[in-house]
Amino acid sequence: MVAESGKIDPMHQFLIEPLFGRDWAIAGQNIAFTNSALWMVVTLAALMLFMLGGMKRELVPGRWQAMVESFTGFISGMMATNIGPEGKKFTPYVFSLFMFILIANIMGMMPVGVVGLHPFAVTSHLTVTGLLAILSFSIVLVVGFWRHGFHFFSLFVPHGTPVYMIPLIFVIELFSFLIRPFSLGLRLFVAMTAGHILMKVLAGFVINGVNAGALTVAIVSIPSFILMIGITLLELLVCAIQAYVFALLTSLYLNDAINLH
């Protein structure tokens, strides 16, 4: 038999457990090295390997350098169309954000389960995505107030608003502005969590169907397995789309702060 059957527990994969340093502490807070931290390190190592391999600055780019340049060109093109020439300064931040999220998402999908390790999607936790969202939001606030001072508040009153509508519009626009870090962090977190739960549930169908006998293999396991291949491809697409959407929305919010409508 493949593995023991039983009740499917799709939430177990998101458990954060300390690997070593259980008794490390700073000011009473435990700072053990967890599996989440391990996969962040793996993501960072993969990212560094990818970038260093393509940053040889050859005049005629090889395959690897062309790959890296297509990523950097993609992000700098996005910044140029959304923000304009002012966006060049923020390209390194948005590029780091995009590459970290993309590689963290893909690392969570890696089939290292076949050698007995447990992949862990770093971005399936609100603490990580929420922190990235707060970072983006803080940069927007700092840049906005730095460049425009209190004139930044004119962002909340669109041009041509009738005077008697200004109080209402101001409150609505303020709320839609303040909700941004939540929607930004929540979108990435829930998209990754939902995909991983779906795949775990389907994997549970396959295992339980194989264990239950030949009939259930034919009517449950094989269709579930075929569906799972499709869902895995869809999830790889979602990994890329969510990283792109996060970077795109960050650049749009930066555009609001730099150009004020």
Neighbours of 157 (CB within 10 A): 16
**Contact call for residue 11 and another protein (CB under 8 A):** yes
Dmax (CA) for the chain in angstroms is: 73
**Contact call for residue 183 and another protein (CB under 8 A):** yes
Helix (H, G, I), strand (E, B) or coil at 75: helix
Shortest distance, CB of residue 149 to another protein, whole angstroms? 29
Shortest distance, CB of residue 139 to another protein, whole angstroms? 19
Q: Which of 34, 43, 82, 105 binds another protein (CB under 8 A)?
A: 82
**Contact call for residue 148 and another protein (CB under 8 A):** no
User: CB under 8 Å to 231, separation ≥6 — which residues?
Assistant: 195, 198, 199, 202
**Contact call for residue 179 and another protein (CB under 8 A):** no
Long-range contacts of 48-51 (CB under 8 A, 24+ apart): 50/99, 50/103, 51/99
Tokens matching residue 102: 């993309």
229-242 burial code (b ≥16 CB/10 A, e <16): eebbeebeebbeeb
| Residue among 233 and 241 whose Cβ is closer to another protein | 241
| Residue among 30 and 183 whose Cβ is closer to another protein | 183
Shortest distance, CB of residue 94 to another protein, whole angstroms? 13
**Contact call for residue 51 and another protein (CB under 8 A):** no
- Terminal alpha carbon distance of the chain: 62
Shortest distance, CB of residue 11 to another protein, whole angstroms? 7
Residues that bind another protein (CB under 8 A): 11, 78, 81-82, 183, 186-187, 190-191, 193-194, 241, 244-245, 248-249, 252
